[in-house]
Amino acid sequence: MARKKSAKNSNLFVAFWNGDVSLVKSYWLIGVLLTIGVVLVATFLVIAVGLPYEAMFGIYIPWVIYITVGIWRSADKYKGPKYWAILAKIAMVIGVLLNFKDLLTGNY
């Protein structure tokens, strides 16, 4: 018989996706710091394998979707002042739009 996994046993990546990580940790630790790491690792891998730079988007685009959903859901569950949740969502929309513009124009 399969056991239902409790929220406490859930790993960080699943908890983040579900919006169960605090907004501060979601935005600053995962959305900013971990994204820097993901971009550095993706860039290193693309260079090491000798792929064109655009191949990095195969890693980066799913990552942006993941962090956008996670931060958005964390903002939905945020219990503090509503303006922080609104600002986080605005920042995510602006970030996605700028990334999309850069992808279309080749300014990356």
CB 73, CB 19: distance < 8 Å: yes
The domain segmentation of the chain, as residue ranges, is 22-105
Q: What residues contact residue 13 under an 8 Å CB cut-off, 6+ apart? A: none
pLDDT band at 107 (very low <50, low <70, confident <90, very high): confident
- CA–CA separation, 99 and 45 (whole Å): 21
What's the pLDDT score for residue 78? 97
User: pTM for the full model?
Assistant: 0.86
| pLDDT per residue as tens digits for the range 70-104 | 999 999 999 999 999 999 999 999 999 998 998 88
